Structure 1
Amino acid sequence: MAVEGVDYGAAESSSAFQHFWSLAIEEQFYLVWPVLVLAASGVWWSRRRSGGGQPGVSRVGLNLVVGAGGVASFVFGVHQTQVAQSLAYFVTPARAWELAAGGLVAVNAGWLARRSWLGRGWLAWSGLVVIAVSAVVITESSAFPGYWALLPVGGTCMVVVAGLSRATSAERVLLAQPLSQGLGKISYGLYLWHWPLLVLAPYYFQTESLSLTQSVVAAGMSLWAAIMSYVVLEDPVRSLPSLSQRPWRGVVLGTVLVFLSAGTASAAFRFVPDPRGTGATAEVLAAGSDIGQAVQESAAMIQVPSNLSPALSEATKDEPGTVLGGAGDCHMNLTDAELSVDPAQDCVFGDPHGAETVMLVGDSHAFQWLPTLDSAGKERGWRIVVHTKAACPIFDVKLENTQLKRDYAECYSWRERLMGKVTELEPDLVVTTGAVFNPRSEEHTADWIAGTGRVVSRLRAGGVAVALVADTPYQRKDVPKCLSENLSDIRGCSRSVESAMSDPQRRTGMESAAKQAGATVINPLGQMCTQQQCPVIVENTLVYRDNSHLTATFARTLAPYMADKIEPLLGRD
């Protein structure tokens, strides 16, 4: 999940079990803490503290080790939040300081309990207020964990420390009440239940996003499930005399259940059948077919054809980085600023010895055209050089990356390196495009359009011909997923042309600016949509591998179309 958070092409849908990541970190703590106590803090025989030659632990040494580790983890977490927030959120080194804070409280519990001024209600109430404030002020847009994590962690530590020596007013008034105690007992189960039910609820209610009422119903079901699992399973099993009197049996039972769960999950992945089309065998769509006519005929398709290519289970893998060896190393991820994974890599496809050089540059919507240009290049004798970067069009515009949740500095560095590469290679043609999704502010739209014109002008001033490919339709939902759930009636999985041509102002403005600056605009809309609809399957071929990117299989069928559009730009009849 940490890697997927900085992977622009990662699946957008949530797993019902992704909240287990925090349990993984918790289990790592249980494994590391005893080792840390025994090996890193200085175990020695201390008769004064333990008596009878029993082992004791150096509190000073443990404080130094845990404290130093906690500080290092916190600094790393703050830095990583600024660089790649999802990595900081999920990886253990960036979150270990939170566990270290609890460890320091535990190590120093006796000393803290003797500080009478800490055992007062004011500290407990202050901690509760800090926790409540953190629940309100920390939002989806906050750079969390970073410095923000200090609020819930610090507030919790305050509440715990306040109750070490005696009951405080906060306990008597709030924390010791039956409702609070009951919620505490089921809190673990509530954590386990709430996320799967929230993820699965949209399927039950047949909606893309839950309403407030539906969310409350899902939360209520989570609460009920947590109570029942505590009463029927959790508490009875924990209280079994056969386990409580012989702890090793509990260890054995837990180990067996872990392996049983892992084996069941593995079997499910192996033996659950892939979704198969329920429709008749469709005509095979091949390069050279009349794609426009095939689109017209496929617009009325109702069932997924039985010979769909690629298969729905393989759709996400049908992309340039998988089907063309080495291509993935030339498409850089969000946090990369180099032109390729290996600086020595030339990123050449098509005909490596071709007389003309065509450069394909831009974001992932440019990268999706590589199978098209690779096939066209091999057929027409063109050398295709590709350099693309996730969510980074070459247009001279500032970008706030929604996944990194910050200014997209890596994109700007990559653009400058790319322009240097263009100057070095002196290509006969640069082909580019940029993904256009939901409408943006008027200011951003104006900057996007102006930035398109500036980049095209810069390339033309260097003597390079430019072709801007109009962006592909935006289906707004994961197409393979939608088809898998609607094998017998796929009509709800496609969009009208009006809906799929998202943010028309930015699309038309980008094309106009490119033309005025001297670029040729290639608009493949007629190869993907009718006048009214943009089908997601054409003949037997799946068009999209997610909500907007073309499958490599479909992209290849457009090679003759794209070759005919590019040929005149290279000065060849």
Structure 2
Amino acid sequence: MFLQPADRSTGQLGSENRVRTVRRGDLDGVRGLAIALVVVYHVWFGRVSGGVDIFLTLSGFFFVGSLLRTAESLKPLDPVPVVRRVTRRLAPALVLILAVVAAFTILHYPATAWYDTARQTTASLLFLQNWHLADTASDYLAADPSVSPLQHLWSISVQGQFYLAALAVVFGAAWLLRSRGYAVRLPLTVLLAVFTAASFIYAATSSMPQTWLYYDTGARMWELLAGGLLACVAPWLRFPRSTRILLSFAGLAILIGCGVFLDGRNQFPGPWALVPVGAALALIMAGYSGSDSNSSDTGTDNPVTRLLTTRPLHRLGDMAYALYLWHWPILIGYLVLFDKPDAGFTGGLVVIVLSLVLAEATTRLIETPIRRPSGSGRTRTVLIASVSVVAVAIAGGSVSLTTFIDRRADESAQQTELDPLIYPGAAALTEGADAPQEREQPSRFVAHADLPDSTTDGCLAQDGETFARTCTYGDPNSARTLALIGGSHAENWQPAIDILGREHNFRVQTYLKVGCPAVLPPGPDSEIGECEQWTFSVIDALDANPPDVVFSTSTRPRPDGPGDYTPAAYVTLWQALADRQLPVVAIRDTPWLEHEGVEYRASDCLAGRGGNAESCGIDREMVLSAVDPAPGAAAQLPNVRLLDLSDAVCRTDRCRVIEGNILIYRDSNHLTASYSRTLAPPLGLALGPATGWW
């Protein structure tokens, strides 16, 4: 298909390739209904409604359609006006939300939480928040006080990245095709179809964990591209009235029911995301009549279209972007202020009403004057200047704070030797060591960076990796080997075991993975996930180079009540090691900090009002069963030796967060490397007899 001659009077393409731009009031209603479901499901049900996936599809449809009209009009392919228009659409309200969240964080969050907010603020301004959340393995959780008030901005970042990529692809392809005299639409349709298929296949088949894929732009891109692909084929669509009504009813029913029947948090953006994306496509296609593929259904003969063009849904659609931005930080702010794990019915109403009011004000007073100036140009100039100043201020403040904290953390990491007379750590519990009262080390402000060497050395297999990554510590020249295997809770002991390895002459070989304890499926019908696949790789590595002892954890917190337990998948692993004549030393897991089912960071509690080592701790009976459950689970496995050093972390009734002037936790459930090193003496007293090495 060759390029049609331009109409000299209008500069437009000939009528065959021209698509008339029609205001789709029904799609404004789709946006309104989708944002209503997003808000309701977030506030009251803690679920993903599928509304965001519908937004993504609509965004792809509108944006690619706009770019395609420009490409086919023979207008100059200038990206600057497009970038300017997108910036005016996305930036003002986003900057306002970031400024409000920053102020709320300073006023109501402990100072130790400012660092995380600053990092996420910078990422959001750069439209990289989704990658920040993916990199930190953030689950898209139901709202509670521990969840970031900026977590929802991942979707805005995905859209921003898509806009830039689509702009480059469409304008780049159009330039190449136009310069050679070819039409744009059909080749671009084929190209976008290839990209859509590639993204969908990646989302459906990738071995990356769900906490990564949920935010992954590559896995999400097909949802936007599906809408863009529909915009490309729009001139060829012809649907009779009965089909359009069927499409609209089906799309509406799926849109409303998606969140009820699907667990989007764990199923999207994989194949199940076809459900909300398909609903969005159906509702878009329902607007194309059979008599003229370029015309839009007026809705007079379609009850669904009449519903979607009602004033309430139309108004919700107009403020959808602002409402999406406001509702999540308002919800999290409510939970923080009232110290509640959920909003409840009345609190949810307060959150929704306040979000609606703020969204309406933001749309009327900021978004609309900047996007569609109708009054004084001075007002628009003042608004743009104000937004720019605020953006620069929060960007500068965020970067300065993160740079300062990172520098302090680096300095703290260099100071691994603490005076044992002042900082006895675990010795305060195990030996009754007394020390003068001093400020805790590491500081609560840099505790997050007090990491084991195995983390800083890059020795942990990351999300999506199933091979057995390994590093060597202790005495690398020793003939005796202890294999440390498991997840981050096995890694808790690496600093202590490293010391013992150097003192007692044994090599420490680590096989560790982020978020994965060493587990094997306990039954033939058990699901084999990424952690099991990685454990099989570790078993293969141990077969190739058998250690003298395997060291791992023996328990986990109960997910549905107080105390701890030994998972069946642990016992299956011990049996597999017994079959290989490999002795196992398994140690009871250290306590996790939580309050009413919500995990909290020790450093945040200490930096809060009145927080101290005692009040920020947790009752021992809440996290540790009265009797260690591991001996009962391992009763039939003589190759397993069990250790319990709970008394080196907890007192008889309370697990505090500071002992011997050393901060125990770097977050809610991982030991600081500093405290782990003070556990070397009591661990040595237990490990020597268990291995027979000293």
**TM class, shorter-length:** 0.7 to 0.9
Pair 1:167 & 2:293 matched: no
Cα distance change of structure 1 residues 58 and 130 upon mapping to structure 2, 3 Å threshold: same
For the structure 1 residues 154 and 560, does the alpha-carbon distance in structure 2 shift closer, same or farther, using more than 3 Å as the test?
Answer: same
Q: Report the counterpart of residue 469 of structure 1 in structure 2.
A: 587
Matched, 1:312 2:444: yes
Partner of 2:462: 333
Partners of 1:470 and 1:445 lie apart in 2 by 9
Alignment deviations for residues 164-221 of structure 1 (CA, whole Å, 9 cap, x no partner): 4231234663122111111111111001111212222221111244434333322332
1:284 aligns with 2:407: no
Alignment partner for residue 88 of structure 1, among 208, 213, 232? 213
Distance 1:136 1:56, change over 3 A: farther
Find out whether 1:59 has 2:188 as its counterpart: no
CA pair 43-306 structure 1, distance change in 2 beyond 3 A: farther
Q: Distance in 1 between matches of 2:478 and 2:620?
A: 38
* Equivalent residues of 2:247, 2:283 under 8 A apart: yes
Map of 2:656 onto structure 1: 535
Consecutive unaligned residues of structure 2, counting only runs of 5 or more, are 1-129, 289-295, 410-419
Report what 1:71 is aligned to: 197
List gaps (5 residues or longer) in structure 1.
47-54, 276-281, 401-405
Deviation of 1:15 (Å): 2.4
2:607 pairs, out of 484, 489, 496, with: 484
How far apart are the structure 2 equivalents of 1:35 and 1:384? 50
**Residue 473 of structure 2 corresponds to which residue in structure 1?**
349
2:416 aligned residue: none
The secondary structure found in structure 2 opposite 1:312 is coil
| 1:107 alignment partner in structure 2 | 232
Map of 1:231 onto structure 2: 364
The one-letter code matched in structure 2 to 1:339 is: A
1:118, 1:161 within 8 Å by CA — same for their partners in 2? no
Match status 1:436 vs 2:546 = no
Q: What is the DSSP-based 3-state SS (H/G/I as helix, E as strand, rest coil) of the residue aligned with 2:485?
A: strand
Match of 1:278 in 2: none
Q: Deviations over 1:338-378 (max 9, x none)?
A: 221xxxx6x22112233533222233221110100111222
Contact 1:198-1:218 at 8 Å conserved across structures: yes
2:178 alignment partner, one of 44, 53, 58: 44
AA aligned opposite 1:473: P
Tell me the SS of whatever aligns to 2:557: coil
Q: 1:65 to 1:552 in 2, by over 3 A?
A: same
CA–CA distance in structure 1, aligned partners of residues 179 and 479 of structure 2: 80
8 Å CA contact retained: 2:424, 2:660: no
SS at match of 2:298: coil
Distance 1:520 1:398 in 2: 20
> Is the contact made by 1:449 and 1:513 (CA closer than 8 Å) also made in structure 2?
no
8 A Cα contact 1:7 1:333, kept in partner: no
Q: Hey, what's the Cα distance between the residues in 2 that align with 1:407 and 1:561? A: 38
Change over 3 Å in CA distance of 1:570–1:486 after alignment to 2: same
User: In percent, how many aligned pairs have the same letter?
Assistant: 27
Distance 1:26 1:244 in 2: 29
SS in structure 2 opposite 1:44?
helix
Deviation at 1:101, TM superposition (A): 2.2
Distance 1:494-1:325 versus aligned 2 partners, 3 A rule: closer
Secondary structure of 2:214's counterpart equals helix
Report the TM-score when normalising by structure 2.
Answer: 0.67
In 2, Cα distance between equivalents of 1:104 and 1:204: 45
Separation of aligned partners in 2, 1:395 and 1:142: 21
Residue 437 of structure 1, CA deviation: 1.8
Amino acid at match of 1:160: I
8 A Cα contact 1:2 1:91, kept in partner = yes
Task: Name the residue aligned to 1:127.
Answer: 251
Instruction: Tell me the CA shift for residue 570 of structure 1.
Output: 4.3
Does residue 679 of structure 2 align to residue 555 of structure 1?
Answer: no
1:264-302 superposed Cα distances (whole Å, 9 cap, x missing partner): 432454579999xxxxxx97323794532559x89xx9x
SS at match of 2:319: helix
SS in 2 for 1:96: helix
Over residues 429-467 of structure 1, what are the superposed CA-to-partner deviations in whole Å (9 max), with x where a residue is unaligned? 3322145022479xx9673474265246335xx2x4432
Report if aligned partners of 2:605, 2:611 keep a CA contact under 8 Å in 1. no
Q: Which residue of 2 aligns with 1:190?
A: 323
Give 1:226-305 correspondences, 5 Å limit: 226-241=359-374, 259=392, 261-269=394-402, 284-286=422-424, 289-292=427-430, 294=432
> Aligned in 2, Cα 1:272/1:566: closer, same or farther, shift over 3 Å?
closer
Is the 1:470–1:511 contact (alpha carbons within 8 Å) kept by the matching residues of 2? no
Query: How far apart in 2 are the matches of 1:369 and 1:195?
Result: 38
